[in-house]
Structure 1
Amino acid sequence: MKTEPHNTAAHGHLVIIGGCEDRQHDKAILSRFVELSGGAHARIVVITAASAKADEMWQVYDKAFADIGVRQCQHLHLQSRQDANDEQHIAAITEADGIFMTGGDQKRLLALIGGTALDAEMHTALKLRGACIGGTSAGASAMSGHMLAQGRAELQPEKGAVSLGAGLGFLHKVVIDQHFSERQRLARLLSVVAANPYLQGIGIDEDTALVVERGVGIEVLGEGAVTIVDGRHMATNIAEINDHMTPELIDVRLHLLPSGSKYRLPDDAHTPERALPPPLLEFLENVTKRNPIS
């Protein structure tokens, strides 16, 4: 018999994690995900579709969430697109207060769930029920409409070094990279922005999360920082150079938001503690936009 979902935040949250979040000690990021999902009584669903070792991945998160105090945690073991259209699996998402996507390979994740009924139900959960959707590593990269599918992490930006694919589309006009500082991926993100200046690049360090509350604001949690690369005003010669060459990138803007950074959009009830610079205000308006169900 279907039970009513727990009350969750009206706006819905995304918890976008750069990978290697703490799962054994204070579990600060996972605890925040649980809190935003409704607390220990929340119904949590873990999607391991990105991983080739789904059972092992599930055991890790089952223990971590149990240690936090979660009483209802379910594994969705999706091995085919048919699984992602299965009525029982869709029902699990319908009942979920928190949906968590593990790491692995984001291409594998999208191949299994992209465009399926489960994908659509996740959008409904976020945008109509205010559920919390979390993703780490590959699960983080898959959050945006444009997904970093593959690419080299060289010392310099390089034309043609990175390819994009379709993501799940919880965020738009951005591309997300993870393990950012630890794997020295600034050049990779610059390569994306150089070729796609309409996208803002978001690089998230390990054990670090960008939390997005739709229509409200953002915060950064964990041990590292979030790097934002904005090339919308840049001048570049990337259209004139050959593949594998380094482009000129002039007037690229970079924002660094360390752990503890917290910004919300100004409204009649709340004003920011300090004035938002216009580029950061534009970023907030973009990533917190309440996009229609897609």
Structure 2
Amino acid sequence: MLNRRSLLSMAPALLPLPINAQARRLGRLVIIGGAEDRLQDRVILRRFVDLCGGPASRIRVLSAASSDPNLAWLGYQSVFAELGVDDCQPIPIPDREAANAVSVVDLILEADGIFLSGGDQRRLMDLIWETEVFRALHVAFHVRGCCMAGTSAGAAVLSRNMLAYGGATKLPEKDAAQLDIGLGLISNAIIDQHFSERGRLGRLLSVLAERPSLLGVGVDEDTALIVERGVGIEIIGRGAVTIVDGRNMLSNYESIDAQERLELLGVGLHVLPSGNSYRLTPRGRNSKRFPASLAQAISLLVEPGPIRG
């Protein structure tokens, strides 16, 4: 856990921010379904830079989930440079020793924005679980208000209950996919990516049968779900975000064996196309009325999770 000594050691990073920086320090999440446009309009990456504070912001790229972290870093370095960002650096974590290095922690705590690349979410968690980097990511988000973005595996790892692996299944089956522990910046949902393109609704329903108290969030490719803590959500890009709500669901999960078909009754489903925003409190022209069931789901998504250490 983060104790007094830990927090005191981070004191320089926890000093009050300038007034002009406080307005943007809201701890937003940019959850990307993978395959985001890096060559043309770059709507999602451009918006991430804006949420970090613009081209003058300090952006750090965590590419440890990739099988070739350096190649992944170089790809994003080029894109962010073309978007005008001068201060963009990698967060190098080749092994767990590096995940406890003061120099790596400092890179995280000085960031205005942190971008988590794709790859294998299990690889990333194996490197950072219960390390100083894991704790620093929570301090950066919860205390410093750093904007955190993740694409593909980097999106999946943002939730506490992380969808670790499992193939697409046309119909929901018991144990069709496996969960593991993720970073935990989203506490009440399981995130899946490449959602429509890879036909993953059956997979998401399968894991929700195991954890019916949670939401399932499926994000399409070149699409991002922007989560603003305590306020609301927005969808940008070219696809949609699917929210599956199993909190009132009845299922036969406990009475069947692995790989048998699931019976799921009373599942809630919301499909939110790009270009829409949903806020829990009226905020200008973009606020809209929507069903109470969706408001309840959004309130779970934007609820600040616990700081973990």
TM-score (norm 1): 0.95
- Moved segments of 4+, more than 6 Å: 2-6, 269-272
Aligned to 1:220: 235
Cα deviation for residue 231 of structure 1 reads: 1.0
Cα deviation for residue 284 of structure 1 reads: 1.6
Q: Does structure 1 retain, via aligned residues, the 8 Å contact 2:91–2:108?
A: no
Aligned to 2:152: 137
For the pair 1:51 / 2:63, whether they are aligned, the reply is no
For the pair 1:288 / 2:302, whether they are aligned, the reply is yes
The alignment partner of 1:171 has SS state of: coil
Cα deviation for residue 114 of structure 1 reads: 2.1
The alignment partner of 1:215 has SS state of: coil
Cα deviation for residue 270 of structure 1 reads: 6.2
Question: 5+ unaligned residues in a row in structure 1: which ranges?
Answer: none
For the pair 1:155 / 2:170, whether they are aligned, the reply is yes
CA-based RMSD? 1.7
Distance 1:127 1:195 in 2: 29
Match of 1:108 among 79, 98, 123: 123
Distance 1:88 1:101 in 2: 18
Amino acid at match of 1:293: I
Match of 1:17 among 32, 36, 41: 32
Q: Which stretch of the first structure deviates more once superposed, 246-255 or 98-107?
A: 246-255
Q: Aligned runs of 1:203-282 on 2, under 5 Å? A: 203-266=218-281, 273-282=287-296
The alignment partner of 2:255 has SS state of: coil
Aligned to 1:94: 109
Question: 5+ unaligned residues in a row in structure 2: which ranges?
Answer: 1-11
The alignment partner of 2:38 has SS state of: coil
Aligned to 2:44: 29
More helix by share: 2
Q: Does structure 1 retain, via aligned residues, the 8 Å contact 2:158–2:184?
A: yes
Q: Does structure 2 retain, via aligned residues, the 8 Å contact 1:193–1:231?
A: yes
Q: Does structure 2 retain, via aligned residues, the 8 Å contact 1:11–1:215?
A: no
Distance 2:204 2:155 in 1: 15
Amino acid at match of 1:189: L
TM-score (norm 2): 0.91
For the pair 1:120 / 2:123, whether they are aligned, the reply is no
Aligned to 2:8: none
Cα deviation for residue 186 of structure 1 reads: 0.5
